[in-house]
Amino acid sequence: MAFSDYLIFVDESGSPSMGGRIDAQYPLFVLAFLLVKKNDYSQIVCPAVSDFKFKHFGHDQVILHEREIRKDQGSFRFLKTPQIKQAFLDELTDLIAAMPVQLCCVVIDKAKHQAKYKTPAHPYHLGLQFGLERVLGFLELNGE
């Protein structure tokens, strides 16, 4: 059996819960699928991210967690100075923008989804279905 040339990483943002407790400040549920060739991951992505971490933290064990970066918490306490934070974010943004990856995101506005359907599909299940359909299409187009 041949192995795929691609890795797929999946992450979510927001809560998939429906019901009467949809957060009006963030009514979205997002599933993001990141596709990257294994060779690009090992030879470009990993070294670039490690270099960034070594530069800013002295090691590469820190996890670049959005919430901690945004709130200047944990390893990111040094970002409390606006100029330092902006320079860090600009460098991280440039790093990510240069990555040889494909991104497929499914965004569900839970309030609109609930209003439109009598029995709305669970956002996580719906996001997974739509995301995997798109991932399959990408992989097929790329000979996988």
- Tens-of-pLDDT digits for all 144 residues of the chain? 689 999 999 999 988 888 767 888 889 999 999 999 999 999 999 999 999 999 999 999 999 999 999 999 999 999 999 999 999 999 999 999 999 999 999 999 998 998 898 888 999 999 999 999 999 999 999 999
**What pLDDT does 33 receive?**
98
**What pLDDT does 18 receive?**
81
The first and second tokens of residue 22, run together, are 């949809």
**What pLDDT does 25 receive?**
83
**What pLDDT does 64 receive?**
96
Per-residue CA distances from 5 to 34, 37, 91, 100 (Å):
14, 6, 29, 14
**What pLDDT does 105 receive?**
96
Asked if 100 contacts 36 with a C-beta cutoff of 8 angstroms, the reply is yes
Per-residue CA distances from 69 to 21, 66, 72, 80 (Å):
27, 5, 5, 10
- The kind and range of the H/E element at 57 are helix 46-57
Per-residue CA distances from 143 to 37, 51, 57, 100 (Å):
12, 32, 39, 18
